[in-house]
Chain A
Amino acid sequence: MRIGIIGFHALPLTYDIEMTREESVFEAAKGALEAAGIEREDIDAVVSASSDYYDGRTISNSMLIGATGAYLKDETKAEEDGLFAVLYAIQRLRTYHRTALVVAHTHSWTFNPHKVSTFMLDPLFDRQNELLNDITLAALQANAYMHAYKVSEEDVALVALKNLRNASRNPLAYRRLSGITLEEVMSSEVYSSPIRELTMAPCCDGAAAVVLAREDVIRESSIDDPIWIEGVGAATDRYIRDRNLLEMESLSIAAKKAYAMAGVTDPLTQIDFAEVTERFAYQELMIYEALGLCQKGRGKYLIRSGFTERDGDFPVNMSGGAAGGDAIIATGLYRLIEAVKLLKNGAGERALVHSQWGLLAQKNIVFVLGRE
């Protein structure tokens, strides 16, 4: 049974948003229902995505029931990236439900997301040495990867430059730096070498929602131009200490599953573009490799040759990706919504959407979307 996306809405990414959590979630949910042309009464299931840590409160969905429209509805909360909530909604639609609403949000001003990353560390040793957090871990991985495959700082900066240029054209993006240059990226402040301010995604506030429906419901109500979910795959890696940091193995596994489900044998020719979650610019090179766009260690050639630029053969992050603003839990939904918009605007027939979760992308999820 195929599942289609029939409505979506995302708030512009910002920082220090002048709205409460409930207000922004309500805006997103209401906007998505309006875009789908349906009422709250037409929704069978609501799956929200938020986290007690990022929200800085116990049972983060408890006071969002009114805002998500879940009052007296079959409701639950996925406590991780919004794309996992979409996966759960798909599972519900394939069982009982006809339509589902997925809402995800993070307000980064509530609880510093970088601080939350330290709570993901093993509390018995890794947390107590007070050296590790998501940025220093990324620096360790970036150094290892760049050393192993002779990737230069310029290669990484090129990724950031591409994404920042794309983000500057995206009205939803938080970090819009028009006329950004390679020199500016390479001379931006060092947070933890080689991670710089502009080679890292900025945490910000955002909320996004999508409405999903079963194929029979979409046909019945003759909704025009739904975007279909053709494939989905997810996988988990080991904890940071116990895995090969030179590759994103769980992403390779997730991508293979999604390709198999969508009948994709050659992503480069059968998929037109991708929207991926790169919390750090170097990660995008590793993502190219894990998605099978090139061989291990060769991601640098894709960025050097302009292959993944917006006018390249396989554009990646035409929206700017996470470099344009990272609303943590909502970021996966922002990528999904950007891909849906691009498909609807004729950027291609098939798109790949990726998001990650955990320290150094321990968990990954991949969707393949199609127009028909």
Chain B
Amino acid sequence: MKRVAIIGCGQTKHGIRTDVNQAEMVSEAVWKAIEDAGIGIEDVEAFAVGNMQGFGGIAHAEMLFADYIGAYGKPVQRVATGGTVGGSVAQLAYYQVASGMFDVVVAVAWEKHRDSAEPGATTGLLHVMFANYSYMLKKGMSMRTYAMLGMAGAAAGISAYQAAQYMAKSGCKIDHFDMVAAKARRNAAKNEYAHLKWPNCKPEDIAKTEMLIWPMRFGHVCPASEGASAIVLASEDAVKRLKPERPIAWILGVAAYADEEADQGESYQGTGVLDYSAQLGCILSAKRAYERAKITEPRKEVDMAEIYQPFPHQELMFSECLGFFDEGTAWKAVEEGITEIDGKFPICPSGGVNATNAIGSSGLQRVLECALQIMKKAKNHQVPKDVRVAVAHAWGGQVQFNTVTVLGCDPLR
């Protein structure tokens, strides 16, 4: 197993990108990352790519612009795992290098909704199980049962259940979601690549927004952004050979444990997860990623985290699953300002997914943002504390996939 470092980062402005097409947007991120690494395209041996192809209406979009991103004649491996796809792309690139098969790899993930006249061939969380439900309706499931399966609200719908379950378990209030959302918007205002920026946003501002589905307000929900993120990964040998004369960040450990989909187990395994906020997959992924990163006490050793939080309760819930707070107590840390940019344990100083959600890009952006913090290149949203170890998390699937990536300023011991 080879040690792997991130030697370059590139991301586009995220938001509504009618000014570029998918090829232009993705290649912008790739070439920025290559330039940031101070290498040439000839040094890149392979690519790891991914997005949610149905959202943009182009199947295997990377094939259209393989030569735009310099992939001609090189292996391109594609993964797609829902919301986690960016995290999965980062982990694929990690394995490509750690396995010793390639020395320098570019990982790129993106989302763009507008190029094709046929987006939505497979859009939204509803379409995850739509085929199964039609089958069950055909077999005699009543419309009442269908409605009670409660998936009609897609990602926001299922997350509302999750938020309610989390509130019941932890005793936190909607006010705490307002605080997390306001922090995300404030932090995003300092990040030049973010989408929903709101300088000096206060929890009261979020509390004024309309209640969409209890306990979720309009101000709690992430935007549908477009954008691309790319990182350059290199083996230890390549780092020595290429001598990037700038800071680098090391990947210490990765894991992605899959849980059963949050539903009634109707895909025959019968283990359906009923508490969507339990997130056993995240707990296991974190445990194994820390083990692989040789981290024994995450609370002492980890300095900050980028958590995948399209909805604010997820920042609280996942920060507990990742071992940063005791179960059901993360909301107290938010009250105390511990997770602010200048707090003791900053979470999502970039504004996170709550402020910018270009699905494919989001997971990889978490890894990229952690790398920037370690390299001290995050500019206006650089956390004041010294970041030696950071954790990047992504969430996806039918609330059942989690990727956990541990980064550090020093290589794995």
Chain A residues near B (Cβ < 8 Å): 20-23, 26, 46, 51-53, 55-67, 70-80, 84, 87-88, 90-96, 110, 116, 119-120, 122-124, 127-128, 233-239, 242, 249-250, 253-254, 357-359, 362-363, 365
Contact = CB atoms under 8 A, between A and B. Distances in A.
Given A72-B281, A119-B59, A239-B63, A92 B269 contact: no
B257 A74 contact: yes
B101 A94 contact: yes
25 contacts: A53-B54, A58-B52, A58-B127, A62-B82, A62-B397, A65-B259, A66-B260, A67-B267, A67-B269, A71-B258, A71-B259, A72-B280, A74-B255, A76-B79, A76-B81, A76-B91, A95-B98, A110-B131, A120-B59, A124-B21, A127-B117, A234-B75, A234-B76, A254-B75, A362-B63
A40 B55 CA distance: 34
A65 B260 contact: yes
B118 A119 contact: yes
A355 to B, nearest CB: 13
Contacts, number: 229
A236 B63 CA distance: 8
Give 3 closest A-B pairs by Cβ, nearest first.
Answer: A66-B269, A94-B99, A123-B116
Interface string B377-398: 0000000000000000000111
A72 B66 contact: no
Contacts of A78: 77-79
B87 to A, nearest CB: 10
Contacts of A116: 59
B352 interface: no
A59 B73 contact: no
A19 to B, nearest CB: 11
B130 A57 contact: yes
A253 B132 CA distance: 41
B258 A72 contact: yes
A88 B74 contact: no
Interface in B53-95: 53-54, 57-60, 63-67, 71-82, 88, 91-92, 94-95
A239 B115 CA distance: 17
Contact of A119 (B1, B121, B281): B121
B81 A53 contact: no
A66 B81 contact: no
Contact of B258 (A73, A88, A237): A73
Contacts of B21: 124
Nearest to B403: A76
Contacts of A66: 260, 265, 267-269, 271
B258 A119 contact: no
Nearest to B81: A77
A71 B79 contact: no
B268 A23 contact: yes
B258 A359 contact: no
Contacts of A357: 60
A284 B66 CA distance: 24
